[in-house]
């Protein structure tokens, strides 16, 4: 579950977000500028040998690079997609019960948003074992939730399956209506409590559901409701479980039916950004490498990287330092062996500006463009990082 952060130096909470453009950026992009050469017109009929152009390269400053990225993003945004209605709030059902014997996180009964813990979460052997158990359960729940994502009368574009699916749809007994995000929440809730765990989002700062379901332009923290998934939607499902005193946190963006190619590419690149970020993690590595690696890959495709929501330390406490910035930054701090935290970048097809609904949670892109997110909880080791939330 992403943490909304307002960050200043040193790492603390304040009312302002640092500028996204840092003069100290080191760009890896080069552009060629032609060298103007004045050549007189040759006599009529005389053969002329044309010399190849000479290219002069220069390194971009941080400001120039930001302008280049913005122009690329605007060009990318000019591509017309099939118009679809904006996301609307459905009916939110009541909070689901949790059996009394299941251990609850300390924030549940307060209804208040807990303060960010200032302690890095480092684990000995027993703590690592419990973290792995919680994360493994979260991964299994997320995998199961993904199997529930369906739309009515879905006919795949694969011609091999087309005839079979049409025949199935003629049989009313086989027809399945589209799933609602509320139904996904209920299924996730039941699987978690059946495993003897607590759904961490439930009651966190008053959050009313057991899972976050963020559809299309919703960046994160979508509240499950009565809305049915539609053909062509994308949905991020964010699962966190609290098992034996430890939280395991993970999310993935799923495709619903026939999703257009541009949206598929957004989802694919978002997952690749997470993978590339994990690759740079190890004992002693700088945290800022995460944002650099994510930004480099996202910018190749003209996507925006959301700055407002960050990864976080996770373990016995749901949210703690370090705060993991997914965009380019110059924050200090190094990873330590035995530490656990999440990486959870959100990419957008258009603007990264966002609006939070009056429910205090659901956050959507200001321009209605789609967003995709992937998340893993990782454990820092001496030589790399172990992904704890993989099935």
- Torsion over CA of 19, 348, 91 and 169, rounded to 10 degrees? -170
> Among 240, 243, 261, which Cα is nearest to 251's?
240
CB count in 10 Å sphere of residue 63: 12
Average pLDDT over residues 361-376: 98
pLDDT of the residue at 4: 76
Q: Kindly tell me if the per-residue pLDDT of 137 is higher than 70.
A: yes
**Cβ-contact 89, 281 below 8 angstroms:** no
Q: Averaged over 86-113, what is the pLDDT?
A: 95
Cα–Cα separations (whole angstroms), residue 311 to 54, 241, 308, 378: 46, 16, 10, 11
Return d(Cα 143, Cα 62) in angstroms, integer: 40
Strands (E), 9-80: 12-13, 30-34, 55-59
Measured CA to CA, the distance from residue 45 to residue 320 in angstroms comes to 77
Question: What is the predicted pLDDT for the residue at 45?
Answer: 44
Q: What are the pLDDT digits (tens) for 35-78?
A: 343 434 444 444 343 444 433 344 445 555 655 566 565 555 44
Is residue 388 within 8 Å of residue 248, measured between CB atoms? yes
Total residues found in the chain within this entry: 391
Burial of 75 (0-12, 13-18, 19+ CB in 10 A): exposed
Sheet holding 304-305, edge to edge: 304-305, 346-348, 371-373
Position 328 scores a pLDDT of: 97
Average pLDDT of the residues of the chain:
83
Judged on CB neighbours under 10 Å (0-12, 13-18, 19+), 115 is exposed
Predicted confidence at residue 67, as pLDDT, reads: 56
Please choose, from the candidates 273, 365, 305, the residue with its C-alpha nearest in 3D space to the C-alpha of residue 70: 305
Please, which residues have CB within 8 angstroms of residue 177's CB and are 6 or more apart in sequence?
152, 228
Q: How many CB atoms lie within 10 A of CB 163?
A: 9
Q: Tell the burial category of 184 from Cβ atoms under 10 Å away from its Cβ (0-12, 13-18, 19+).
A: buried
Distances (CA, A) of 386 to 135, 337, 343, 389: 12, 11, 12, 9
Residue 63's pLDDT is what?
54
Element (H, E) at 248: strand 246-255
Name the nearest CA neighbour of 141 among 386, 389, 341: 389
**pTM, full prediction:** 0.79
pLDDT in tens, 140-173: 999 999 999 987 655 555 544 444 444 444 444 3
pLDDT above 70 covers what percent of the chain?
Answer: 74
| Ramachandran category for residue 132: left, alpha or beta (phi over 0 → left; psi -120 to 50 → alpha) | alpha
Q: Residues 265-313: pLDDT tens digits?
A: 999 999 999 999 999 999 999 999 999 999 999 999 999 999 999 999 9
Q: Is 80 exposed, middle or buried (0-12, 13-18, 19+ CB in 10 A)?
A: exposed
The predicted structure's pLDDT at residue 71: 55
Token pair recorded at residue 111:
């209804």
Angle at 364 between CA 357 and CA 144, to 5 degrees: 105
CB-based burial label for 259 (10 Å; 0-12, 13-18, 19+): middle
Q: Say what the pLDDT of residue 111 is.
A: 82
Residue 210's Cβ-count burial label (10 Å; 0-12, 13-18, 19+) is buried
Report phi then psi at 57, rounded to 5: -100, 150
């Amino acid at each position: 579950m992403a943490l909304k952060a307002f960050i200043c130096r040193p790492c603390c909470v304040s009312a302002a977000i640092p500028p996204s453009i840092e003069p100290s950026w080191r760009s890896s992009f080069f552009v060629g500028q032609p060298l103007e050469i004045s050549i007189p017109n040759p006599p009529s009929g005389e053969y002329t040998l044309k010399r190849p152009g000479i290219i002069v390269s220069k390194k971009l400053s941080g400001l120039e690079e930001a302008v280049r990225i913005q122009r690329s993003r605007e060009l990318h945004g000019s591509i017309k997609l099939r118009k679809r209605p904006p996301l609307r709030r459905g009916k939110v059902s009541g909070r689901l019960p949790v059996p009394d014997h299941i251990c609850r996180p300390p924030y549940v009964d307060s209804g208040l948003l807990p303060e960010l813990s200032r302690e890095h979460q480092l684990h000995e052997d027993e703590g690592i074992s419990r973290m792995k158990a919680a994360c493994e359960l979260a991964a299994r729940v997320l995998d199961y939730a993904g199997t529930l994502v369906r739309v009515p009368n879905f006919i795949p574009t694969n011609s091999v399956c087309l005839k079979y699916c049409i025949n199935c749809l003629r049989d009313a007994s086989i027809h399945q209506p589209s799933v609602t995000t509320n139904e996904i929440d209920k299924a996730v809730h039941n699987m978690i409590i059946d495993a003897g765990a607590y759904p961490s989002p439930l009651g966190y700062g008053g959050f009313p559901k057991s899972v976050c379901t963020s559809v299309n332009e919703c960046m994160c923290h979508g509240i499950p409701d009565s809305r049915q998934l539609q053909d062509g939607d994308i949905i991020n499902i964010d699962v966190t479980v609290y098992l034996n005193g430890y939280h395991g946190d993970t999310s993935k963006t799923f495709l619903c039916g026939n999703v257009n190619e541009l949206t598929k590419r957004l989802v694919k690149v978002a997952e690749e950004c997470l993978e590339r970020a994990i690759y740079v993690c190890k004992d002693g590595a700088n945290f800022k490498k995460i944002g650099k690696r994510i930004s480099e890959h996202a910018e190749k495709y003209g996507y925006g990287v959301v700055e407002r929501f960050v990864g976080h330390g996770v373990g016995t406490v749901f949210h703690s330092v370090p705060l993991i910035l997914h965009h380019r930054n110059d924050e200090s701090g190094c990873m330590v062996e035995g530490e656990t935290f999440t990486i959870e970048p959100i990419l957008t097809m258009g603007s990264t500006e966002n609006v939070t609904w009056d429910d205090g949670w659901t956050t959507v892109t200001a321009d209605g463009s789609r967003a995709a997110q992937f998340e893993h909880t990782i454990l820092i080791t001496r030589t790399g990082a172990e992904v704890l939330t993989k099935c």
